[in-house]
Chains A and B, each alone.
Chain A
């Protein structure tokens, strides 16, 4: 029998797409489904998924947990855990639509929660760390339960199948958000497990990723020192944790994070193109966070509360195209995925390896 994610490391090729309205206009989920469908051949039907930001305005102050359950027993155990740690404001099955090509679905539940103040205080952790640890706890300890989305006012929807089918399955046309990302997966040796599909998420960080990072185990063994558990053995998982660690815990900006995970080559650092202070910083990052350098091909779109970031490996071994039209910014593995939903763009370009594209919502005036 084939082993699933978490039992074996599975390399995968993929398609990714994403867009954001800088003005914060909420855009219907069917648009991202259309975009990713144009890269059908980059997937093989073994995984597809989406992340939408700004989709739960009515629950924007609660953490939205999306959880897969293998069985009711695991659901019961998880809910017992949730009840002990959170005030569960709302719980329900996530609405889906039967789809002929989406099969073997697990139980898919959604909870809007706030940490119990007493528990939070007792933990002496900040709220986000508390939530993150609870998520890691559930995923690590409760058999058959898997939290695949845990941020505020955002949500991940993923499944085994082609992404366009997954979009229909989750009825994404019924959601609207200011930013969306999507992923079509081409794993090479998995039976396809729903949890293994992308995006991978922790709190509001979601990652869609195309590539196979050669630094995986170096990154994993480093990040696991800081309380993370890379249960899925996937690149996406470890990259998400790296972002969480560097942004949420180390308080580094996304610009600086790009300088760590896709650090400039020494030849570039020493070339004289950087100011002395910038050079010092780059050297510092490469020394201190040397184990977080990500090598091997990747193109990723990180979603976070209030923005998207796209990044290629420093050699640009994976395709990635960016485009702008008015307040919209589009990012995708292929240009067709952008043209499909925005035929006429103001500008379209191919970002250089290691050069991050960071788009944030405009400040509300």
Chain B
């Protein structure tokens, strides 16, 4: 009977449990997590904060998930290091493993800022606990300053908007959501959010904090009741690096999700993935990616050889009711259609005869058909280009490919 140990309890960890159990029903699985909760969905914390998701529904898997999958859990326990086939715990204990998965995710990055220490109510927005902490401080009209106009900052802003907070978002960049949107899409989204009353101060950073206000580099001063710092995240790679494993931007793994240390695997936000749309290595901090990497890792740990391929950056997210779906890379020839009045924006990016990336805003229906074009690297010559441009539709594929996809006929 194999002993599987998983450090972490989020999507990659759960993916690994499911991956292991699809192969090995008998081995023992131990999950070690420094959080105190049954596995919950990290992206749901903004929905929870907003009140849209209750305590019961924030869980990523049903309550009996661990029992059903015969998983032993060690909540509120921190793994300190990996040593000779053991995981050393913060409580001094040791857990032996045959196969170990590092699914430690990432942690908020808080850059050094002058006067930050003086701010009493300052938060990051990464865990349920952090959301709970914010929730306690926010009431109608609470003035919130959010540093960072990225995904986390704006998801937090949206939640707080529903709680009737008075929100100002400051970012050093001159546009919002630069990691997923181009300039134009950013503008539309910014306008959309601003119409709801949330203020942006872009191209500026904090020069100096005092207890309830921040003096910005552009000269403005923003008063706040609470501060949320959401400028970025850093992967939790220490366990691997300290044990001698290779770490660059994140933990380096092979396509089996194995680290450079034997019997030690890694998956999720703490790892580096290969983005096949841009042919570059990067951290793809996305829940689907984490789950699938975890699942692949789990299968390999249990002995079924599986590769993790075709990873691409992709995001489905909405702010203040306006949906965005994006995927791939935006480096290439762009085909853009826009109907600003309806807040509809569509950008398709082509390179090397392939669809490489897209941004859909407003009308996101059936976006996965585009995603599959990128992931499966279907040549544009295989599809009706005009139909592709018109909207995501199966009709754009040739009859043979349609039959393969829809009629179960393999050619």
Contact flag (A, B; Cβ within 8 A): no
- A-to-B contact residues, CB < 8 Å: none
